């Protein structure tokens, strides 16, 4: 069953997203909303991984290169500075969160076909939060973009 | 005569449930002035808190010499509070008033004429617009101007310059009230009315020290408490306030944990089935989500997190769940604390669960902090669009563009208007280079003052300050414009429960001072802002023109003013909006029919996720099909971001005292008020004081990660582990800078804000406390308020002869709605 490939992908991308939220929180301490919220959202990603555990225990996860990554989403190793740097960092988070979001969707599809209520419950507890993470990133970027792109020194 | 410094709330006039609050006319005249000496009385309303008490100003020989409450007004039935009695005209008739513009030359502020000052502003503004564009401009205004002035500023900013960077200090005082109502009901607009005090059988005060912040409203509550069938009182406050002393249940929560408590109260109401099922079905949506979020919050879980008694949580919920008529009021204890919007929405949710809205005694008062905060929210000189329009709704933006005859593209609507903290961040980063501050004092009132002072002092930032006095902020300005004060200009403003009052000009402003409206109109004229036809953007000659223009803007919106005129406001009571053809005398309560402004084409906001502030957006909002139903909004509890630790073991919270308003620019210039609370202090509990070896009056140092305070200690009744500082005490009267013993509470506060309302978190930080010297006497804190000392040896706060006020208890029938309002059809008003 290839679901294990996607469980591995989801687990890893939630982990990457958590790390990247923490990286941005740390690198943009002068933007308090970003600093604090990214920490909160990182904790959400941690919790998602916890919730996935029983599912992974049942199905296993394939972290070997059964389906090697072609598009690398390795997370933010470091943050940028300045208004445009902030925008780029948030945009990187957006890409990472999008990967998580669509992966949850695929897992949900599989869960429905498997008639696995436990798996669907886990999805139900997590995918809404991921969707809101994306919405928040979009909300924040849309506010910041004109100033960063037109007025910032 | 009554000493209204020692007796803040004045003489009791008890009344029973469903009765009318008796009239008591409070009057204070200047020394040696008798009533028969007064040349004339000029109608106004008080601007020293958000209550909106109607008053008349006594004028003699061209000067203001007294004040008297208006017996026939629905708001105050003749009463005035100490701030209104002692600092209304006294707070502005002072030799320190600015009388000429000032301009920075070689690092110093020097006097100049208006032509030169405005010339410099306009030159800078034009150059920046040309070189850097509209995003280089920011406007930071107040909750203390008049409606007409906010509307002028909003049109200038949004249609003249086209900058999104407009906000007011309303962000610090009232943004959460507006946000919570937008989230729950679809638009701003106070559901309840002060009259609900008359008929409630329980009153809940959430983080609202009404006894000190709205003293006249508290008098009304005290009169019910003294009456035959007193309402139950529930108080949520970490301090032993006057409200707490009258409470049947006092929930002294740990600062920063309000949402946990609210989740627990909602859960109890749900589990006990204290619900109005039909109301919920017909008029709300989102109950299941609410149910799941609150489910973990047993009274024991609440007790653990909030540090309160589980039995008290049950009892408070029982009172809410079983009373027939509940009034809730909410203020800074919720608005300026963690998860402000989510906590305040839970208050709305409790009322929705019981269908307790829009009926006598069943109301919500999401309070305002300042007298005219409501108008800033309505007129859109803050983070809103005028007329409670929705920035995400293209049609709303087009309406404004048509009204102003400008291209809709000029009006920034790609995001909500920039909130105050972000405006200062852009100024810090240098992308805002022109900042116009009117009628507010961010150098004392904003969080983390060392940073704010640095920003304002940046040479690259051009700062205009428009104010009555040379405030801490004004000393950092490039140009200072002397503004006319209350009593020196005409305009209107609207209080917490939507009541609109007129304030007529009584006397001329001092020297060359000009009204804020005249200043804004002059700027607009000099800048040459134009409509699409090439005509001037603003063609108003004075405040009444501005008011008439505003009426058009408000038409068919929730805050509809079309039925109000200057003529109707003169003589009678203030008029609560909406006032239009449908409601010709105005409207006491909103939502009596259970229909809320959540229609997607009408609503002010599509709402947000309360944990993150992510916008819901038009598609998702439409998909919920709210169609006039209210929405149960909530969020998971999340602990405050700065909690006590080894280095900073105490929780720090800030607030107010009854005797001062804001940064004391007016109240400290009143002798009785200043004498009652002359200097800064910090409150701590007897238990903590003992363990730290601190006695009453000792000089202590309170340190946070951002700064320090060095002030005398008041050992009082605050909950152990928490320290409190009043935020009023800046440096304008103590040498101009923090010096070696800083006193401003905001030296310590954290730069952080609620994700939805963007209101700063003033009421939660971690600090350490140490004793640095013995005191020379008790702390300079009042003994008549929440700062009451634990020991009996402190001399009581007294006002003495100059604080004596005449209180007339008359047989006159109390005013009632709608008889107290001047009829639309013409009639017996002046």
CATH number where B755 lies: 2.40.40.20
Q: Is the peptide bond before B336 cis (omega within 30 degrees of 0)?
A: no
Residue B805 lies in a domain: no
Q: Say how far apart CA A11 and CA B214 lie, in whole Å.
A: 54
Question: Which residue is closest to A81 within chain B, CA to CA?
Answer: B429
CATH number where A139 lies: 1.20.1260
Question: In total, how many domains does chain A have?
Answer: 1
In chain B, residues with a C-beta closer than 8 Å to the C-beta of A152 are: 429-431
Q: Does A36 touch chain B (CB under 8 A)?
A: yes
Identify the pLDDT of residue B825. Answer: 58
CATH number where B482 lies: 3.40.50.740
What is the distance of C-alpha B292 from the center of its chain? Answer: 33
Q: Does B609 touch chain A (CB under 8 A)?
A: yes
Q: Does B241 touch chain A (CB under 8 A)?
A: no
In chain B, residues with a C-beta closer than 8 Å to the C-beta of A83 are: 429, 431
User: What is the token pair recorded at B508?
Assistant: 């001329």
Write the DSSP symbol of residue A66.
Answer: T
Decide if A61 contacts A10 (C-beta within 8 A): no
Task: Please name the residue ranges forming H helices in B573-707.
Answer: 618-623, 671-676, 686-692
Q: Which helix (H) or strand (E) holds B400?
A: helix B394-404
| Whether B148 and B195 share a structural domain | no
Q: What are phi and psi of B413, to 5 degrees?
A: -150, 30
Residue B459 lies in a domain: yes
- Chain B nearest-CA distance from A88, in A, is 17
In chain B, residues with a C-beta closer than 8 Å to the C-beta of A37 are: 612-613, 755
Task: Please name the residue ranges forming H helices in A60-81.
Answer: none
Which of B719, B696, B717, B699 is closest to B709 using CA atoms?
B699
Residue A72 lies in a domain: no
Task: Compare CB distances from A139 to B132, B422, B613 and report the shortest one's residue.
Answer: B613
| Whether B495 and B464 share a structural domain | yes
Which of B384, B435, B8 is closest to B222 using CA atoms?
B8
Task: Compare CB distances from A135 to B416, B615, B753 and report the shortest one's residue.
Answer: B615
| Whether B206 and B319 share a structural domain | yes
- Chain B nearest-CA distance from A98, in A, is 16
The confidence band for A139, taking pLDDT boundaries of 50, 70 and 90, is very high
Decide if B715 contacts B791 (C-beta within 8 A): yes
| Whether B170 and B262 share a structural domain | no
Question: Which residue is closest to A125 within chain B, CA to CA?
Answer: B292
Residue B814 lies in a domain: no
Decide if B159 contacts B537 (C-beta within 8 A): yes
Place of tokens 């049109």: B155
What is the distance of C-alpha B792 from the center of its chain? Answer: 34
Q: Say how far apart CA B219 and CA B2 lie, in whole Å.
A: 15
Cβ burial, residue B535 (10 Å; 0-12/13-18/19+): exposed
For B776, other C-beta atoms within 10 Å of its C-beta total 9
Residues of chain B with pLDDT under 70: 824-830
Determine whether the interchain pair A143/B755 forms a contact, defined as Cβ–Cβ distance below 8 Å. Answer: no
- Select the residue from B612, B621, B760, B765 to test the A interface by mutation, using most A Cβ atoms within 10 A: B612
Decide if B84 contacts B46 (C-beta within 8 A): yes
Residue B499: HSE in the Cβ half-sphere, 13 Å Cα cutoff: 30
Residue A122 lies in a domain: yes
Say which residues have a Cβ less than 8 Å from residue B322's Cβ, sequence separation at least 6. B274
| Whether B117 and B240 share a structural domain | no
Identify the pLDDT of residue B826. Answer: 52
Three-class DSSP category at B302: helix
**Distances, alpha carbon B768 to alpha carbons B217, B644, B704, in Å:** 36, 9, 7
Residue A70 lies in a domain: no
| Whether B170 and B187 share a structural domain | no
CATH number where B211 lies: 3.40.228.10
Write the DSSP symbol of residue B386.
Answer: G
Q: What is the average pLDDT across A23-48?
A: 97
SS3 helix, strand, coil % of chain A, rounded to 5?
80, 0, 20
Question: In total, how many domains does chain B have?
Answer: 4
The confidence band for A77, taking pLDDT boundaries of 50, 70 and 90, is confident
Q: pLDDT tens across B582-631, in order?
A: 999 999 999 999 999 999 999 999 999 999 999 999 999 999 999 999 99
Residue A73 lies in a domain: no
Residue A108 lies in a domain: yes
Three-class DSSP category at B135: helix
The confidence band for A69, taking pLDDT boundaries of 50, 70 and 90, is confident
What number of residues does chain B have? 830
Q: What is the average pLDDT across A31-51?
A: 98
Residue A104 lies in a domain: yes
| Whether B267 and B386 share a structural domain | no
Decide if B136 contacts B431 (C-beta within 8 A): yes
Q: Say how far apart CA A42 and CA B591 lie, in whole Å.
A: 40
Residue B556 lies in a domain: no
Q: Say how far apart CA B396 and CA B604 lie, in whole Å.
A: 9
Question: Which residue is closest to B612 within chain A, CA to CA?
Answer: A136
A68 has pLDDT over 80: no
Identify the pLDDT of residue A67. Answer: 76
Three-class DSSP category at B269: helix
Identify the pLDDT of residue B80. Answer: 98
What is the distance of C-alpha B278 from the center of its chain? Answer: 35
What is the distance of C-alpha B158 from the center of its chain? Answer: 24
Q: Does B418 touch chain A (CB under 8 A)?
A: yes
Q: Is the pTM of this model over 0.95?
A: yes
Residue A76 lies in a domain: no
| Whether B64 and B45 share a structural domain | yes
Which of B244, B618, B546 is closest to B379 using CA atoms?
B546
Q: Say how far apart CA B219 and CA B214 lie, in whole Å.
A: 9
| Whether B404 and B529 share a structural domain | yes
Residue B10: HSE in the Cβ half-sphere, 13 Å Cα cutoff: 31
| Partners of B480 in beta bridges | B102, B465
Determine whether the interchain pair A142/B415 forms a contact, defined as Cβ–Cβ distance below 8 Å. Answer: yes
Write the DSSP symbol of residue B453.
Answer: H
Identify the pLDDT of residue B830. Answer: 37
Q: Say how far apart CA B365 and CA B260 lie, in whole Å.
A: 21
Q: Which residues of A127-149 are buried (b: 16+ CB within 10 A; e: fewer)?
A: bebbbbbbbbbbbbbebbbbbbe
Q: Say how far apart CA B191 and CA B440 lie, in whole Å.
A: 28
The ipTM (two decimal places) reads: 0.96
Decide if A135 contacts A45 (C-beta within 8 A): no
| Whether B202 and B351 share a structural domain | yes
CATH number where B87 lies: 2.20.25.90
Residue that is last in its domain, among B518, B550, B582:
B550
Decide if A67 contacts A128 (C-beta within 8 A): no
Decide if B613 contacts B756 (C-beta within 8 A): yes
Dump strand ranges (E) for B186-257. 202-206, 232-236, 249-251
Three-class DSSP category at A45: helix
Decide if B176 contacts B335 (C-beta within 8 A): yes
Determine whether the interchain pair B135/A150 forms a contact, defined as Cβ–Cβ distance below 8 Å. Answer: yes
Q: What are phi and psi of B487, to 5 degrees?
A: 90, -15
Q: Does A130 touch chain B (CB under 8 A)?
A: no
| Whether B128 and B92 share a structural domain | no
Look up the domain containing A114 and give its range. 3-65+81-151
Q: In A, residues 99-128, which contact B (CB 8 Å cutoff)?
A: none
Q: Say how far apart CA B366 and CA B351 lie, in whole Å.
A: 12
Determine whether the interchain pair A136/B135 forms a contact, defined as Cβ–Cβ distance below 8 Å. Answer: no
Question: Which residue is closest to B338 within chain A, CA to CA?
Answer: A36
Determine whether the interchain pair B135/A143 forms a contact, defined as Cβ–Cβ distance below 8 Å. Answer: no
| Whether B680 and B792 share a structural domain | yes
Decide if A64 contacts A5 (C-beta within 8 A): no
Write the DSSP symbol of residue B803.
Answer: G
Q: Say how far apart CA B427 and CA B446 lie, in whole Å.
A: 14
Determine whether the interchain pair A139/B614 forms a contact, defined as Cβ–Cβ distance below 8 Å. Answer: yes
Q: Is the peptide bond before A121 cis (omega within 30 degrees of 0)?
A: no
Look up the domain containing B690 and give its range. 650-799
Which of B463, B373, B472, B465 is closest to B729 using CA atoms?
B472
């Amino acid at each position: 069953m290839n679901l294990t490939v996607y469980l591995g992908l989801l687990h890893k991308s939630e982990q990457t997203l958590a790390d990247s939220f923490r990286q941005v929180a740390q690198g943009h301490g002068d933007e308090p909303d970003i600093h604090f919220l990214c920490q909160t959202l990182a904790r959400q990603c941690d919790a998602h991984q916890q919730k996935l555990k029983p599912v992974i225990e049942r199905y296993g996860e394939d972290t070997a290169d059964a389906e090697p990554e072609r598009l690398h989403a390795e997370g933010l190793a470091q943050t940028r500075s300045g208004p445009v740097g902030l925008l780029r960092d948030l945009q990187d988070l957006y890409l990472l969160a999008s990967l998580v979001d669509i992966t949850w969707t695929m897992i949900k599809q599989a869960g429905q076909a498997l008639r696995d209520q436990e798996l669907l419950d886990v999805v139900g507890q997590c995918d809404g939060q991921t969707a809101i993470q994306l919405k928040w990133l979009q909300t924040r970027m849309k506010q910041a973009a004109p100033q960063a792109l037109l007025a910032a020194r | 005569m009554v000493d209204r410094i020692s007796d803040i709330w004045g003489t009791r006039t008890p009344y029973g449930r469903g009765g009318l609050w008796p009239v008591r006319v409070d009057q204070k005249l200047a020394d040696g002035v008798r009533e028969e000496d007064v040349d004339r009385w000029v109608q106004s309303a008080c601007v020293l808190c958000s209550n909106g008490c109607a008053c008349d100003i006594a004028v003699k020989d061209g000067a203001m010499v007294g004040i008297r409450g208006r017996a026939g007004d629905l708001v105050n039935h003749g009463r005035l509070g100490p701030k209104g009695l002692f600092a209304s005209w006294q707070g502005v008739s002072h030799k320190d008033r600015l009388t000429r513009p000032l301009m920075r030359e070689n690092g110093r502020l020097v006097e100049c004429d208006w032509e030169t000052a405005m010339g410099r502003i306009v030159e800078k503004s034009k150059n920046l617009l040309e070189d850097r564009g509209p995003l280089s401009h920011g406007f930071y205004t107040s909750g203390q101007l008049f409606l007409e002035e906010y509307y002028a500023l909003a049109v200038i900013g949004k249609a003249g310059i086209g900058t999104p960077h407009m906000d007011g200090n309303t962000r610090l005082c009232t943004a959460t009230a507006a946000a919570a109502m937008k989230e729950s009901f679809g638009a701003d607009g106070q559901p309840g009315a002060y009259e609900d005090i008359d008929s409630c059988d329980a009153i809940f005060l959430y983080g609202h020290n009404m006894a000190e912040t709205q003293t006249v409203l508290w008098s009304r509550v005290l009169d019910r408490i003294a009456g035959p069938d007193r309402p139950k009182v529930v108080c949520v406050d970490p301090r032993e306030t006057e409200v707490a002393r009258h409470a049947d249940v006092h929930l002294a929560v740990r600062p920063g944990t309000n949402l946990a408590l609210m989740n627990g109260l909602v859960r109890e109401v749900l589990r006990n089935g204290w619900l109005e099922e039909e109301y919920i079905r017909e008029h709300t949506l989102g109950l299941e989500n609410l149910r799941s979020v609150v489910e973990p919050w047993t009274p024991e879980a609440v007790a653990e997190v909030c540090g309160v008694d589980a039995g008290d949580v049950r009892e408070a919920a029982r009172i809410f769940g079983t009373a027939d008529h509940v009034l809730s009021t909410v203020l800074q204890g919720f608005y300026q604390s963690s998860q402000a919007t989510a906590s305040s929405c839970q208050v709305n949710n409790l009322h929705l669960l019981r269908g307790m809205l829009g009926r006598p005694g069943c109301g919500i008062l999401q309070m305002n902090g300042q007298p005219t905060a409501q108008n800033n929210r309505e007129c859109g000189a803050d983070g809103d669009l005028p007329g409670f329009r929705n920035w995400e709704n293209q049609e709303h933006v087009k309406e404004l563009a048509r009204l102003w005859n400008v291209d809709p593209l000029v009006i920034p609507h790609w995001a909500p208007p920039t909130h105050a903290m972000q405006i200062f961040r852009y100024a810090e980063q240098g992308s805002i280079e022109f900042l116009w501050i009117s009628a507010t004092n961010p150098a004392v009132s904003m969080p983390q003052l060392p940073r704010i002072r640095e920003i304002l002092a940046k040479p690259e930032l051009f700062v205009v300050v428009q104010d009555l006095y040379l405030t801490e902020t004004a000393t950092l300005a490039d140009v200072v414009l002397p503004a006319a004060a209350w009593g020196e200009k005409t305009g209107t403003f609207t209080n917490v429960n939507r009541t609109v009052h007129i304030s007529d000009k009584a006397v001329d402003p001092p020297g060359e001072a000009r009204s804020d409206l005249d200043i804004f109109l002059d700027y607009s004229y000099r800048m040459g802002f134009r409509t699409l036809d090439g005509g001037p953007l603003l063609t108003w000659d004075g405040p009444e023109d501005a008011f008439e223009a505003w009426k058009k803007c408000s038409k068919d919106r929730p805050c509809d003013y079309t039925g109000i005129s200057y003529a109707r406001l003169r003589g009678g009571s203030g008029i609560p909006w909406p006032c239009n053809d449908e409601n010709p005398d105005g409207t006491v309560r909103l939502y009596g029919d259970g229909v809320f402004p959540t229609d997607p084409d009408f609503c002010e906001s599509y709402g947000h996720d309360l944990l993150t502030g992510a916008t819901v957006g038009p598609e998702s909002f439409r998909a919920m099909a709210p169609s006039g139903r209210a929405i149960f909004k909530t969020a998971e509890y999340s602990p405050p971001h700065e909690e006590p630790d080894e280095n900073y073991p105490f929780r720090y919270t800030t607030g107010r005292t009854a005797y001062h308003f804001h940064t004391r620019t007016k109240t400290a210039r009143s002798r009785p008020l200043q004498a009652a609370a002359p200097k800064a202090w910090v409150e701590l509990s007897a238990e903590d004081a003992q363990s730290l070896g601190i006695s009453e009056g000792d000089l202590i140092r309170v340190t946070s990660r951002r700064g320090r305070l060095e002030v005398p200690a008041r050992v009082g009744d605050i909950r152990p582990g928490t320290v409190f500082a009043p935020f009023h005490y800046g440096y304008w009267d103590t040498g101009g800078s923090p010096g070696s013993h800083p006193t401003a509470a905001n030296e310590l506060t954290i730069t952080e804000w609620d994700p939805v309302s963007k209101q700063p978190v003033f009421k939660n930080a971690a600090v350490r406390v140490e004793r640095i010297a013995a005191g020379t006497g008790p702390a300079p804190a009042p003994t008549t308020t929440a700062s009451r000392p634990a020991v009996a040896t402190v001399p009581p706060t007294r006002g003495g002869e100059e604080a004596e006020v005449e209180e007339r208890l008359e047989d006159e029938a109390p005013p009632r709605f709608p008889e107290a309002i001047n009829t639309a059809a013409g009639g017996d008003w002046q």
